Chain A
Amino acid sequence: MAESYRRSRWTNGLFVVPYLSVFLTLLVFPLGWGIWLSLNKVDLFGGERFIGLKNYARVLSDPIFGQAVKNTLIFVGVSVPTLVILGLFLALALNKTSKGSSFLRGLFFASSILSVTIVTLIWRIVFIPNDGLMSLIFEFFGWQPIGFLSTTGWSLFSVGVATVWWCIGLPMMLFLAALQQIPKDLYEAAALDNASRWRVLTRITLPSIKSTIMLVAIIQVVMQFQLFGQAQLMTNGGPAGSSRPIVMYIYEVGFLRWDIGLGAAASQILFLIILCAAMLQYWVSTRKEEVDA
């Protein structure tokens, strides 16, 4: 009896083999290999030599990496709350069954299906000096033109605007799905309870979609820490590295300077930063729930 039970357990395990093999080959193995590379001096065309944590020491003492981390933190710190708040606002505004709101939902989601090349092309046309849309608007009002893509401070801001425009579809859709799960009779009870619109939003709607807000925030933190394409194509990290994110630093070190070990070490640090940020958010949200319960 016991033996047949054991055998049946093995055969049951076969059902997860296809997924497990993909998981191990494409996720666990590259992660382990990346960690191994970060502990070696690796040349793309040469061999590898174990050097311990020296790559980490090098990357942490590199002022360009420090600047990239700072840029990325600022970018995430501004773009994620913007995406969450704007996505929520759009979802609340478009949570209706009218044809107009269906059209607008489609319109706001449409940007998400564009490739980064198209998105950056559009926003370069908006921000480019002399003939860009912003420069025409500034000219119309007689204001001093701003080099959005070539001025320190503005360049990261411009990348952020393009990113929010590109990524707003997913948060909006997730919030819409969550809002539509809230039972209609809760709002009817609130109407009979004489609740103002603000009280309904803060005491009924937001608490009801709390877990989705956290989900959207974590997804966006993970996504925005990996900023690369927009910065590469719009500003090339400039001027003077003021819009260079961590992933771009990794790309430059690994694929332009061929210093794979250093790039791998920077990747592991980015991985740790993302992990910590996501865990922190998760911990804060679950701790709040425990207090509430």
Chain B
Amino acid sequence: MSASISIKNITKRYDSVTVLDDINLHIEDGEFVVFLGPSGCGKSTLLRMIAGLESITEGSIDIGEKRIDTLPPGQRGVAMVFQSYALYPHMTTRQNMAFGLENVKVAQDEIDRRVNDAAKILEIDHLLDRKPGRLSGGQRQRVAIGRAIVKEPKAFLFDEPLSNLDAALRGRTRLELAQLHQRLGSTMIFVTHDQVEAMTLADRIVIMHNQKIEQIGTPMEIYQYPASRFVAEFVGSPPMSMLPINSIENTPDGVTVEVSGAGKVVTAIVLPPEFNATNAVIGIRAEDTAVVAAEEDGLDLTIKVIERLGDRTLLYGILIDGTDLIVEDSGRSKVKAGDTVRVSISPQAAHIFDGDGLAYHSQMEV
């Protein structure tokens, strides 16, 4: 029932403003793909173009073998769950779910069967005769998903569907969506700016930035091998710390870089001869740092802010030259704001970004 989606050379312009620039993407049949990016990066526009709610300036979209960008939204074989749910307020849950099927003249007993089946899957069978005004946010969300399921679409499109839920419900619904995907095996595209949703739900994440796709990869590829400085800083909480590089020394096993406030860092990263060293930085994630004893080798970090997260503690501090560095310590850390601690960094886990933001990673398995 589900199908692959091919997006070929898609461009979207509003007069002189380019919103999406030459986007190419292939989504496999049954794959769960998340479009992740900051506000205004064009991820929702791309989703709405697949749904047919936005026109395409250039390019084409295929679902399966069929080109669909010339078809009206209702004939594309996709179902969408909106951020605001967009339930028809004067219809009951049952009528909301049945509306799309009635429009294409599906037989009444088939409509009843599909609505009842979807209601059972989503555990909303006791809400079928209620109107949206008498449902909670989470229940409305389920009805919106139910309305999509009954259509048995080739692809599900989710436009930030969890952003109106409270934190606890968001976590639970996220898990249920993952289970739903396993159960239905359908192609799903999910738009979000929440990296936790992206990391936990996606088979592959599409990172979007400045009207373009910045990187496509599995959640762990994106996290461990970010393609650019933007991806490295956008994905991961806390963001990767960036330390300016003063000079680079090449060795056969990788480069040794002279870093402001940290001295020499020996890495396993091999840089090409054409590497642009101007404004180059070395990136280190908080979990690749550690607080060590004062007599051990390391960097002196003056702590400004402490975030205690229970299982771990994040230390936000500055090195002697004023560069910011975020360090992860254990949940039982005794460090206080104002303390100066010695920290070590794991050079094998470091990344180097050139002046254009392009990433270079260690040759060793992290």
Which A residues are within 8 Å of any B CB, using their own CB? 183, 185-186, 188-196, 199, 203-204, 207-208, 210, 292-293
Contact = CB atoms under 8 A, between A and B. Distances in A.
B337 to A, nearest CB: 46
Interface residues of B, number: 25
Interface in B90-136: 90-91, 99-100, 103-104, 131
Contacts of A183: 84, 86
B271 to A, nearest CB: 49
Given A189-B88, A208-B90, A194 B100 contact: yes
A212 B89 CA distance: 16
Contacts of B131: 293
A199 B151 CA distance: 18
B100 A192 contact: yes
Nearest to A289: B90
Contacts of B273: none
Contacts of B86: 183, 185-186, 188-189
Contacts of A195: 74, 99-100, 103
A39 to B, nearest CB: 48
B325 interface: no
B79 interface: yes
Contact of B104 (A188, A189, A194, A203): A194
B75 interface: yes
B99 A193 contact: yes
A207 B90 contact: yes
Q: Which 7 A-B pairs have the closest CB atoms?
A: A194-B74, A193-B100, A185-B86, A189-B86, A207-B90, A191-B73, A194-B103
Contacts of B104: 194
A183, A203, A207, A208: residue with the most chain B Cβ atoms closer than 10 Å:
A203
B82 A189 contact: yes
A185 B85 CA distance: 9
Interface in B273-327: none
B82 A208 contact: no
Interface string B31-61: 0000000000000000000011100000000
Contacts of A204: 88
Given A185-B82, A196-B103, A293-B131, A191 B53 contact: yes
A208 to B, nearest CB: 7
Given A183-B86, A185-B84, A293-B131, 16 more contacts: A186-B86, A186-B88, A188-B53, A188-B80, A189-B86, A189-B88, A189-B147, A192-B51, A192-B52, A192-B53, A192-B78, A193-B103, A194-B103, A195-B99, A195-B103, A203-B91
B96 to A, nearest CB: 9
Chain A interface helix/strand/loop/mixed: helix
A177 to B, nearest CB: 18
Contacts of A199: 103
Given A193-B103, A208-B89, A188 B82 contact: yes
A190 B79 CA distance: 11
B8 to A, nearest CB: 22
30 contacts: A185-B82, A185-B84, A188-B73, A188-B80, A188-B82, A188-B86, A189-B86, A189-B87, A189-B88, A189-B147, A190-B99, A191-B52, A191-B72, A191-B73, A192-B51, A192-B52, A192-B73, A192-B74, A192-B79, A192-B80, A192-B100, A193-B74, A193-B100, A194-B74, A194-B100, A195-B74, A195-B100, A195-B103, A199-B103, A293-B131
B259 to A, nearest CB: 50
Contacts of B80: 188-189, 192
Contacts of A193: 74, 99-100, 103, 147, 151
B53 A203 contact: no
A195 B151 CA distance: 13
A208 B53 CA distance: 21
Contacts of A186: 86, 88
A292 B79 CA distance: 28
B75 A194 contact: yes
Contacts of A208: 89-90
Contacts of B89: 208
A178 to B, nearest CB: 14
A61 B86 CA distance: 58
A257 B87 CA distance: 62
B52, B79, B82, B147: residue with the most chain A Cβ atoms closer than 10 Å:
B82
Contacts of A185: 82, 84, 86
A141 to B, nearest CB: 43
A189 B87 CA distance: 8
A292 B131 CA distance: 9
A183, A188, A191, A192: residue with the most chain B Cβ atoms closer than 10 Å:
A192
B134 to A, nearest CB: 9
A210 B90 CA distance: 10
A194, A207, A292: residue with the most chain B Cβ atoms closer than 10 Å:
A194
Contacts of B72: 191
A192 B79 CA distance: 7
A184 to B, nearest CB: 9
Contacts of A196: 103
Contacts of B100: 192-195
A191 to B, nearest CB: 4
Nearest to B104: A194
B241 to A, nearest CB: 40
Nearest to B76: A192
Contacts of A293: 131
A118 B86 CA distance: 47
A280 B86 CA distance: 34
Contacts of A190: 88, 99
Contacts of A194: 74-75, 100, 103-104
A195 to B, nearest CB: 5
A207 B79 CA distance: 24
Nearest to B103: A194
A271 B147 CA distance: 50
Nearest to A195: B103
